[in-house]
Amino acid sequence: MCSVNVPTTDIMSTMESQIENSDQEEELKGTKRKISLSNCGVCGSEEAKYRCPACLSHSCCLLCVKKHKEDSGCSGVRNKTAFVTLSHFDEMTLLSDYRLLEDTGRFADGATRDKLVRTPRSTLKSKRLAGSARKVNITLRFLPITFTKSRENSTVFFTKEKLFLWHLKLIFPQSSSEFSQRRVSDRQTLEQILTPYIHPTESDPVMRQKLKMYVHTPFDHVKVFMKAEGRKANSVRYHQLDIRKTLRDNLSYKTLIEYPVLHVVLRDHWKDYPPKGPAFSWT
């Protein structure tokens, strides 16, 4: 039987060399880590161990991380849509973008499966409101219950009196103000509705101060507009309402989403509200 003798000294020297190289690599990695993180950006005295995903600032402990968030208002959440130059675009950035697209697709798919998000309200109340509105030539549509406009809608209809009490939003663009009013009778004229807001003497003093541009303007120089629904975003048009007619008459043969939103506009800005229909010049 033959045996092969392997020099023990050669094996030992090879192993020692490998261990030494491994130690050098670990030491080099540690050096790189110290260089990249340096000192804590909060206390400045300790070696940094963490880097904020949002703003890339360095910190050494949980206490400093919390202090950094409190002082700077940083959320600590990485901005997944932040701009990355082509020179810094690497595999990690590509993976991050891919995961973002996956998350977006998953969210969109979930929304189509969730009945609360996908379909408008189908409660007895909304069906009755839509049916009652149809009888007075108003097309009333509803948003999914997840929308703020849907949740804040307080419109009711009294069958016996055949009366709508609308949730109403009034926008005064020239004063950068808007107000929501609950339970507004559809038998009131627009002039009656606007009186508490812009009448020179009968309006609420607080409103009068906020809307002084309107208060000092004659009613003849004020028009009320309502956006025409169902049009493309690049073709927005408005219905011009009659200030002396009732709310019901003004809403007749129009489409509403949840409730009426009225824009009260001064004369110099009428041209910014193009009417629905053929070309028209303001006089």
pLDDT for position 253: 95
Model confidence at 9: pLDDT above 90:
no
Token pair 């629904």: residue: 229
Q: How confident is the model at residue 187 (pLDDT cuts 50, 70, 90)?
A: very high
CA angle 79–233–101, rounded 5-degree value? 30
Tokens of 151: 């949740």
For residues 36-58, average pLDDT = 83
For residues 193-215, average pLDDT = 91
Q: Residue 217: which of 180, 265, 169 has the closest Cα?
A: 265
* pLDDT, tens digit (0-9, with 9 covering 90-100), for 62-71: 899 888 888 8
Cα separation of 76 and 255, whole Å?
Answer: 45
Indicate the helix (H) or strand (E) that contains 208. helix 205-210
Cα separation of 82 and 217, whole Å?
Answer: 48
Cα separation of 192 and 246, whole Å?
Answer: 9
- Say if CB 172 and CB 217 are below 8 A apart: no
Model confidence at 12: pLDDT above 80:
no
The chain-wide mean pLDDT, for the chain, equals 82
Cα separation of 65 and 84, whole Å?
Answer: 25
For residues 144-162, average pLDDT = 90
Cα separation of 50 and 58, whole Å?
Answer: 6
pLDDT for position 280: 42
Determine whether 279 is exposed, middle or buried from the number of CB atoms within 10 Å of its CB (0-12, 13-18, 19+).
exposed
pLDDT for position 113: 64
pLDDT for position 35: 39
The SS3 call for residue 202 is coil
pLDDT for position 112: 64
Q: What are phi and psi of 45, to 5 degrees?
A: -110, -25
Percent of the chain whose predicted confidence (pLDDT) is above 70? 80
* pLDDT, tens digit (0-9, with 9 covering 90-100), for 249-270: 999 999 999 999 999 999 999 9
Tokens of 28: 């080099």
Residue that wins the pLDDT comparison between 262 and 116: 262
Q: Residue 193: which of 251, 151, 139 has the closest Cα?
A: 251
Model confidence at 154: pLDDT above 80:
yes
pTM of the model: 0.57
